[in-house]
Amino acid sequence: MANVLIIGCGDTGGRLAVLLAGAGHGVTGVRRSAHALPGVTMLQADITRPFRLDIAPPDYVFILLSPGESSREAYDRCFLGGLENLQAALGGAVPRRVFFVSSTSVYGESAGEWVDEATPPRPAGFNGEVLLQAEARAAAAWPAVSVVRFAGIYGEGRLRLLRWVQAGRPVDPALWSNRIHVQDAARLLAFLLERDLAEQPLEPLYLGVDDLPVLQAEVLDWLAARRGLPPVPRQPAGDGGQGRRISNGRIRALGFRPVFPDYRAGYGSIVA
């Protein structure tokens, strides 16, 4: 059993913490606000400021950061400043492996192209730029780092697309979308830890998505039909951006299988 530190016990990190604690690992979770999770030692700290970790050196560290707002300054404080503060808090401790959670926003493809781990990142926005810098900073700070770039995480309580359907907002009919259910996001991170514990090789990069890139309009129409609403209006965005299709071939090759392989499986229980 491993001694695990999870920095950022929000929705995904909290689910991961409970999974790992349930599997018998010793888990310490850190988050900004006071919170309790079964079987998990919880610490309250703001990673954007210097903080202390009065714990045994962790074997594994998971870093799942979320800025409080969508600005360049907030991203810099959270991801770049946060990593610096975490490294200081760990002192000379060298974890067996660090898992850094990033985003597919580091890619710039926007014409429906397929993207996988070999695709060079070309971020189109500041969020992707900062995340790419943070990935590099983590890789420089610790000797064994695996980055997991997740697509859009959805699930219970994440109702953006349902609100979209209810508002009848138009959608670009050519826009591709990619997603992963929050339960599968947590499961994938736990799966990678167990693989490392079994001394099976890990790559420095994984893409966290389900089995089915799909046109956004198809998802919205399916949700509308389940709610007895008309299909959403079509309106080309006019900016030429059609999104991208992200492959999960690498994680499937390891043997990972999502519980929710596509949007129908994932949203089915939410809108039932």
Q: How many residues does the chain have?
A: 272
Domain formed by 3-268, architecture: 3-Layer(aba) Sandwich (3.40)
pLDDT tens across 119-159, in order? 999 999 999 999 999 999 999 999 999 999 999 999 988 88
Run of H or E residues at 105: none
pLDDT tens across 154-202, in order? 998 888 999 999 999 999 999 999 999 999 999 999 999 999 999 999 9
110/244 Cα distance (integer angstroms): 6
pLDDT tens across 55-91, in order? 999 999 999 999 988 999 999 999 999 999 999 999 9
* 3-class SS of residue 152: strand
Whole-number average pLDDT of the chain: 96
Contact (CB, 8 A) for 111 and 73: no
Helical axes 11-22 vs 182-197, angle rounded to 10°: 40
* 3-class SS of residue 208: strand
23/186 Cα distance (integer angstroms): 13
Query: Could you tell me the pLDDT band of residue 246, with boundaries at 50, 70 and 90?
Result: very high
DSSP-derived pairing of the beta strands 60-63 and 205-208: unpaired
Task: Specify which residues 234 forms β-bridges with.
Answer: 171
pLDDT tens across 202-239, in order? 999 999 999 999 999 999 999 999 999 999 999 998 77
